Amino acid sequence: MRRVPPYEPVDRSQAFPALEVEILERWRERDVFHESIRRREGAEPFVFYEGPPTANGRPGSHHVLSRVFKDVFSRYRTMRGRLVHRKGGWDCHGLPVELEVEKKLGFQSKEDIERYGVAEFNAQCRESVLRYIDEWNELTERIGFWLDTDDAYYTLDDSYIESVWWSLKQVFDQGLLYEGHKVVPYCPRCGTALSSHEVAQGYKEVVDPSAYVRFGVRGEEGVSFLGWTTTPWTLVSNAALAVHPDVTYVRAQVGEETLILAEALAERVLGEGIETSDPVKGADLEGTAYEPPFPYIADYGEHGHTVLLADFVTTDDGTGVVHTAVAFGEDDFRLGEAYGLEVQNPVLGDGTFDERAGPFAGRGVKEADPDILEALRDAGRLYRAEDYEHSYPHCWRCETPLIYYAKSSWYVRTTERKEELLAANEAVEWHPGHIKHGRFGKWLENNVDWALSRERYWGTPLPIWRSDDGEEVVCVSSRAELAELGADVPEDLHRPFVDDVTFEHNGKTMRRVPDLIDVWWDSGCMPFAQWHAPFENGEKFEQRFPADYICEALDQTRGWFYSLLAVSTLLYGRASFETVLCLGLILDGEGQKMSKSKGNVVVPWDVLDTHGADALRWYYFTSKQPWDGYRFSLEAVGESVRQFIKTLWNTYGFMVLYANVNDVGTAALEEVDLTDIDRWALSRLQETTEIAIERLDDYDTTVAGRAIAALVEDLSNWYVRRSRRRFWDGDPAAFATLRECLLGVAKLAAPLTPFVTDAIYGNLDGAEPSVHLCDYPEPDPALRDVGLEWQMSLVREAVGLGLAARAHVKLKVRQPLREAIVVAGGREREAIGRFEGLLLEELNVKSVRYVSEADELGRFELKPNYRSLGPRFGSQMPQVAAAVGGLDADAAARTLRDGGEVHVAIGGHDHALGADDIQMALRPLEGYEVERSGSHAVALDVTIDDTLRREGVAREVVHAVQNARKQAGLDVADRIDLSLGGDAAVLAAVREHEDYLLGETLAVSVDLSGAETGARAEIEGLELLIGVSRV
RNA sequence: GGGCGAUUAGCUCAGCUGGUUAGAGCGCGUCUCUGAUAAGGACGAGGUCCCUGGUUCGAGUCCAGGAUCGCCCA
């Protein structure tokens, strides 16, 4: 039902958070979200994938950021006619969840968990992971993120796990799933390896001890290799030294001793002017035997404790002699393989030394660093120790420094499909564009195999069963397959139940490999696993693959963006998303990273309670390009309320106030006589609509939102300001125009600020239960008038110039002036003429006089228009500029304004220049009140005769009476009896302009015999007494 | 050490394919309007567009090098 006046009165000091709560209630009552989807049944889908958050912590500002950007384009596409399903999802597995439970139970290690019982531990995890799901859902609703939370997917569901198993089987069948022995980043606290994208999340600046260590050359007393390391604990298992074959090494004399190191680094390490001798190539050092720093482990084979050659050695830092511990570095490990070194790993899974490490046995490796240095010092092997600041990877969840550690793990051989990954990325549209071939593309190019397995408890079990002798390996793709193999399939596919599942295969007993898989693989399976595809809902999956749009923060480049791309490329040969929007970090108002420890975290609820969801959304959408990151604060959001929402609300409130006062109906635009300024406002609406569609289609809320804000600004500060009288008088054209524009704005901005726009729409129209069930506006070419927009901008400039001129002579606008003189030729004169009344009113002048030439006001200066002449004359531009400068300016100006051409001679040739080729600037003459801008200028006749003065006084009186009305608490529509007294000159002026006074102040009568009581005012130093009484 | 991004007014940000007076909002100062009134308008102060070179008739914009900050990776 379309609403007609009287409208609901608008509270102009409306608190928006309260308004939003009302709107939320309305949405619930009317089931608007689901209705908006039902209405698009059968329409072309726009597919959105929800990147599942983990609900075991409270949602923060950065979560709100991605959630509103997920929302805005879903809403926009829905209004544009697409069917947009929005299935929620929750990431349930993995270390973060285990950690929370461990913390709660006071556990320190995996043994604690084993002792406690895996079944009970996982039950706790299941409970813990959704601990904050209610708050998440509440926040999701409060910020206006329309998401189907009732029908969300959970990665812990058996159906989800089964789909993940299926995906692994596909990979297994392609021969891409393998067990490998490699050095991996390993968290000793969590007791598990991490994938490279997990490692990527945890780099931190730290200060580690670094040590320069002597490795005594066997058989040469007093001669040592000088090695350098930032991980002293690995010296316990030193197996060899590595030098670069092509680097020059020298012997440096330091006191009594001789140190061998790279020539290029000798001075930096040992000090300037160090004596060196005997330069040799690294290649010549191969095989040199030396004394290991610690004697505990000796058996590294034939090449143990000798110098080896390696290309990875650099002379960027250290000494050019690299200490090699086979088990603790990727390069070291490969070098060890090449030389056949025995792998000796004296470090246990919990990060402590085993009994092979002599006195350090049982110590955590990092903690042992200082004692190890001390032992070296005592043994005379430490040359120097110092602090070294560098960034080092830490466990992304428990913050323990990682160690690189040789162990076996299951991998997905993504490197074999690298070309396909790159090709899949080519098809993706990234916002911002540079991520595609920058951060993400470079990462793909350096792709390494995906370390898939985790030796943990709460996660998707690796579905691989193996015979005890390792001969037979089966990857299981489903419950059904497991049953077919003769196993008892447990209800719950998690550990520990799945660990008990065994079956016979080729006469051998098959037991499950106890590992879990990386949770990122879980999330990468979401396109099909959310539907339990391919086991069911196959057609749904087909329809909703790939996603048109996904959106997450930049830190997901190596997280979800990668897992989605990799899984679907391996399975389907393409990316599972077509467009991705990357959002930046949220910093505090000072540009510092928000962190609990700093106490500078802005809690979303605070912002919502203070300014509301629209304000927060508007801030995120329009304050800047979202990928650059935000300097976020309550104040910053407050500013966005004032600038946009408050302005919109005031304009809307103004219209409702006078629509109700005047009892005007809602006439259609076709039924009223539009004025030029109406046509201008409507044209601006079309222009804005065009921009909004063009920008939102390109996932750009920033420019779209700013364009809408500019329209609102124009409506408020120009259209309404210039049309006030028509609203007071109830002019139907004005109301029809403003209503049309406000409804247009409501629809244009509905996806961005869904609450306030729905309130406005509901009151001014209400034909639909909600603005969100409307179609997005289309620009109407019939209402667009570009010429009119140009003309209006010219008039506004002229008004600005005139007001500036007034300001300079300090003449109040209230004081009428005789004449404004406007310099304008041809088209410009026509433009201003069209809105002359407006100019007269704004400047409060009696008449406008146009002059084409500037003789009265100043002199023209001519300048070449570089933009048009530059391409034409190129390097001859200096001559052109000189020639133009030499023209008779006034004559040329006259010619050009009449559409003629002027001629200049350049390089002996004659060239014709038109109006577009020459810019005319006005230089004002001394002694005139002239304001100029380019070729435009406005001057004021500032002589004030008595007539004008009396008129000015009358206006002052009106002003004073209005104040008195307000003080008396009268309503804007109240009629009054007015009585005035005071200075005779003032009263004379009033008498002369009595009708004007009556009209302006809504007085039905005026008594000039003097007010006994009432307000006292002063007009140009003369007394005025005002009595006001309501009729 | 490498990759990517950023650097424009006191603050937060615009500035399209290079075009000669670099813009907006906030804040500040001075006025002003008032039938939207704890809003609105005008004017003003405030910029070596990070630095150095280069290309060009012309560079905030393009190129190279450097500085600083951020993120990512070794």
Instruction: Categorize the per-residue pLDDT at A935 as very low, low, confident or very high, splitting at 50, 70 and 90.
Output: low
Nucleotide lying nearest to A710, CA to C1' measure: B24
Name which residue leads in pLDDT, A777 or A355.
A777
Distances (CA, A) of A647 to A609, A712, A758: 20, 7, 16
Q: CA A704, C1' B19: Å apart? A: 28
The residue with tokens 């524009």 is: A741
Q: What is the pLDDT of residue A27?
A: 97
Q: What is the pLDDT of residue A515?
A: 92
Name which residue leads in pLDDT, A34 or A60.
A34
| pLDDT tens digit sequence for A253-290 | 888 889 998 887 887 788 877 888 888 888 888 888 99
Ranges of H-type helices in A810-835: 826-834
Q: What is the pLDDT of residue A539?
A: 93
- Mean pLDDT score of chain A, rounded to an integer? 86
CA distance A633 to A312: 47
Q: What does the DSSP 8-state code read for residue A82? A: -
Q: Choose the most confident range, by mean pLDDT, from A98-112, A744-758, A802-816, A903-917.
A: A744-758
Structure tokens at A594: 């928000």
- Residue A110 among the catalytic residues: no
Q: Is the CB of A200 under 7 A from strand B?
A: yes
Q: What is the DSSP track for A532-544?
A: TTTTS-HHHHHHT
| pLDDT tens digit sequence for A583-634 | 988 876 666 666 655 666 778 898 899 889 999 999 999 988 898 888 888 8
Q: What is the pLDDT of residue A42?
A: 94
pLDDT greater than 80 at residue A653: yes
Q: What is the pLDDT of residue A922?
A: 64
Nucleotide lying nearest to A919, CA to C1' measure: B20
Nucleotide lying nearest to A651, CA to C1' measure: B36
- Residue A52 among the catalytic residues: yes
Residue A575, SS3 per DSSP: coil
The residue with tokens 């693989």 is: A521
> A172-181, A398-407, A642-651: lowest mean pLDDT where?
A398-407
The residue with tokens 């089931």 is: A31
**Contact predicate A299/A305, CB 8 Å:** no
| pLDDT tens digit sequence for A686-721 | 999 999 999 999 999 999 999 999 899 899 988 998
Tell me which residues from 875 to 894 on chain A have a beta carbon below 7 angstroms from nucleic acid strand B.
875, 877-878
Q: Is the CB of A969 under 7 A from strand B?
A: no
| pLDDT tens digit sequence for A769-785 | 999 999 999 999 999 99
Tell me which residues from 788 to 827 on chain A have a beta carbon below 7 angstroms from nucleic acid strand B.
800, 803-804, 807-808, 810, 812-814
Mean pLDDT of all residues in A941-967 = 81
In what side-by-side order are the strands of the sheet with A403-412? A192-193, A177-187, A403-412, A450-451
pLDDT greater than 80 at residue A889: no
In what side-by-side order are the strands of the sheet with A547-553? A429-431, A577-583, A547-553
Mean pLDDT of all residues in A30-49 = 96
| Residue type (1 letter), A817 | L
**Phi-psi domain of A655 (left: phi exceeds 0; alpha: psi -120 through 50; beta: other):** alpha
Q: What is the pLDDT of residue A590?
A: 64
pLDDT greater than 90 at residue A177: yes
Task: Report ipTM for this prediction.
Answer: 0.93
Q: CA A609, C1' B31: Å apart? A: 37
- Sign (positive/negative) of CA torsion A414, A416, A422, A425? negative
Tell me which residues from 320 to 379 on chain A have a beta carbon below 7 angstroms from nucleic acid strand B.
none
Stated as kind and residue range, the H or E segment containing A177 is strand A177-187
Q: Is the CB of A996 under 7 A from strand B?
A: no
- Residue A410 among the catalytic residues: no
Q: CA A812, C1' B9: Å apart? A: 30
Catalytic residue among A344, A556, A791, A815: A556
Name which residue leads in pLDDT, A641 or A114.
A114
**Contact predicate A95/A398, CB 8 Å:** yes
Mean pLDDT of all residues in A958-979 = 78
Contacts of A966 (CB under 8 A, 6+ apart): none
Catalytic residue among A150, A596, A946, A995: A596
* Residues facing residue A185 across a β-bridge: A404
> A83-87, A258-262, A755-759: lowest mean pLDDT where?
A258-262
Nucleotide lying nearest to A559, CA to C1' measure: B72
Q: CA A784, C1' B36: Å apart? A: 28
> A33-37, A56-60, A116-120, A574-578: lowest mean pLDDT where?
A56-60
Radius of gyration of chain A, Cα coordinates, nearest whole angstrom: 40
Q: CA A613, C1' B22: Å apart? A: 35
**Contact predicate A87/A152, CB 8 Å:** yes
| pLDDT tens digit sequence for A826-873 | 777 888 888 888 888 888 888 888 876 555 566 677 778 888 888 888
Q: Which residue is nearest to nucleotide B36 (CA to C1')?
A: A654
Q: What is the pLDDT of residue A846?
A: 86
Tell me which residues from 157 to 186 on chain A have a beta carbon below 7 angstroms from nucleic acid strand B.
none
Mean pLDDT of all residues in A900-923 = 78
Q: CA A529, C1' B2: Å apart? A: 38
Q: What is the pLDDT of residue A79?
A: 97
**Contact predicate A546/A576, CB 8 Å:** yes
Q: What is the pLDDT of residue A927?
A: 44
Q: Is the CB of A967 under 7 A from strand B?
A: no
Q: CA A489, C1' B6: Å apart? A: 55
Q: What are the two backbone dihedrals, phi and then psi, of residue A857, each rounded to the nearest 5 degrees?
A: -110, -20
Q: What is the pLDDT of residue A1012?
A: 65
Strand B: which nucleotides have any atom within 7 A of a protein Cβ? 1, 3-6, 12-15, 19-21, 25-26, 31-44, 56-58, 70-74
Instruction: Categorize the per-residue pLDDT at A569 as very low, low, confident or very high, splitting at 50, 70 and 90.
Output: very high
Catalytic residue among A560, A618, A649, A718: A560
Q: What is the pLDDT of residue A926?
A: 46
- Residue A396 among the catalytic residues: no
Q: Is the CB of A226 under 7 A from strand B?
A: no
**Contact predicate A696/A751, CB 8 Å:** yes
Q: What is the pLDDT of residue A197?
A: 57
Q: Is the CB of A9 under 7 A from strand B?
A: no
- Sign (positive/negative) of CA torsion A274, A276, A281, A284? negative
Q: CA A936, C1' B64: Å apart? A: 43
Stated as kind and residue range, the H or E segment containing A983 is none
CA distance A177 to A464: 10
Q: Which residue is nearest to nucleotide B34 (CA to C1')?
A: A959
pLDDT greater than 50 at residue A128: yes
Mean pLDDT of all residues in A206-227 = 87
Name which residue leads in pLDDT, A182 or A581.
A581
Catalytic residue among A17, A52, A292, A546: A52
| pLDDT tens digit sequence for A615-626 | 999 999 998 889
The vertex-A349 CA angle with A345 and A350, nearest 5°, equals 125
pLDDT greater than 70 at residue A416: yes
The 3-class SS string of A384-427 reads: EEEEEEEEEEECCCCCCECEEEEEEEEEECHHHHHHHHHHHHHC
> A201-210, A234-243, A257-266, A865-874: lowest mean pLDDT where?
A201-210
Q: Which among A177, A89, A132 is positioned nearest to A564, based on CA atoms?
A: A89
> Which parts of A36-176 are beta strand (E)?
87-90, 148-154
Q: What is the DSSP track for A989-1021?
A: HHHHTHHHHHHHHTEEEEETT--SSSEEEEETT
- Residue A556 among the catalytic residues: yes
Q: Is the CB of A14 under 7 A from strand B?
A: no
Q: CA A414, C1' B22: Å apart? A: 50
Q: What is the pLDDT of residue A859?
A: 66
Percentage, residues of chain A above pLDDT 70: 94
Q: What is the pLDDT of residue A61?
A: 86
Instruction: Categorize the per-residue pLDDT at A314 as very low, low, confident or very high, splitting at 50, 70 and 90.
Output: confident
